[in-house]
């Protein structure tokens, strides 16, 4: 009975072993596929075939969703294709997936480079600083951090100069506008004065004309009266002569 029990126990153990093998086998196959595509991507990357290497690394991720090395390599391939913002997203994801300080520092360093190339200066500074917290001895990170900080200062100085220039332009424009308005007002005043002078002249001329007209009428009236007197005198003379 004891031997029989022992055989039954062995059979159960074998069944459990087979079940475990079948459950682990897909994971092993996926792991092998992941490494295969990563190695393929590395070969393509070394030959400067960055687009092809990106595809291979992504196929490795398809085999294993939690493959931080493949995610990191996708970021490198994107960076080489000058897709800096997309590369930065991969490095952020890689940093979140890793627990190892060295790998997190590397992801943050690459993130700093991607942000710097994407002209996200402040974001690159933050990434370099976080990388140096995990790996203080990274001299390249220190150099790039100093470079990014200088760029930020230049950027801020340029912004201040631009704002000052814009302010000066606004002041000059306001002064020019005021000068134009003053000239316009002066022209309007001159025009109004000219019109008033013309009206005054017209009024004066009208008054003079009226006086001349009255004088002319008066003269004509005198001439008429004189003519009438002469005619009357002539008629009286004729009558006198006739009576004689």
Closest by Cα among 99, 54, 96, 110 to 77: 54
Lowest mean pLDDT among 3-7, 70-74, 137-141: 3-7
Check if the beta carbon of residue 127 is closer than 8 Å to that of residue 100: no
The pLDDT of residue 172:
82
The model's pTM is 0.60
pLDDT grade for 58, boundaries at 50, 70 and 90: very high
Largest Cα span, the chain:
205
- For residue 210, the model assigns a pLDDT of 67
Domain locations in the chain as residue ranges: 2-149, 189-244
Classified by CATH at the fold level, domain 2-149 comes out as 1.25.40
pLDDT at res. 78: 98
Q: Once rounded to an integer, what is the mean pLDDT over residues 171-194?
A: 85
Residue 151: CB partners within 8 Å, gap ≥ 6?
116, 121
**Alpha-carbon distance 126 to 118, whole Å?**
14
pLDDT at 233: 64
Q: What is the pLDDT of residue 15?
A: 54
Token pair in block for residue 55: 């595809």
| Whole-angstrom distance, CA of residue 217 vs CA of residue 223 | 10
Give CA–CA dist 56/155, Å, rounded: 39
Question: Mean pLDDT across the stretch 61-77?
Answer: 94
For residue 59, the tally of other CB atoms under 10 A from its CB is: 17
Residue-averaged pLDDT of the chain: 82
Q: Tens digits of per-residue pLDDT, 13-45?
A: 545 444 444 443 344 445 577 999 999 999 999
């Amino acid at each position: 009975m004891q031997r029989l029990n022992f055989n039954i126990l062995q059979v159960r153990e074998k069944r459990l072993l087979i079940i475990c093998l079948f459950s682990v086998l897909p994971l092993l196959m996926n792991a092998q596929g992941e490494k295969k595509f990563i190695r393929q991507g590395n070969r393509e990357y070394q030959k400067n075939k960055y687009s092809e290497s990106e595809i291979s690394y992504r196929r490795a991720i398809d085999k294993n969703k939690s493959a931080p090395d493949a995610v990191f390599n996708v970021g490198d391939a994107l960076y080489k294709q000058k897709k800096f913002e997309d590369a930065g997203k991969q490095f952020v994801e890689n940093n979140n997936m890793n627990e190892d300080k060295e790998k997190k520092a590397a992801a943050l360093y690459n993130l700093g480079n991607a942000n710097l190339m994407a002209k996200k200066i402040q974001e690159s500074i933050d990434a370099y600083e976080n990388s140096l917290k995990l790996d203080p001895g990274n001299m390249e990170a220190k150099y790039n951090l100093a470079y990014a900080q200088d760029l930020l200062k230049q950027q801020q100085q340029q912004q201040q100069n631009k704002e000052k220039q814009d302010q000066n332009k606004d002041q000059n424009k306001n002064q020019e506008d005021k000068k134009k308005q003053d000239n316009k007002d002066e022209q309007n005043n001159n025009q109004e004065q000219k019109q008033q002078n013309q009206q005054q002249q017209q009024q004066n001329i009208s008054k003079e004309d009226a006086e001349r007209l009255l004088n002319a009428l008066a003269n004509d009236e005198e001439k008429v009266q004189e003519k009438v007197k002469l005619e009357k005198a002539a008629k009286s003379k004729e009558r006198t002569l006739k009576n004689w």
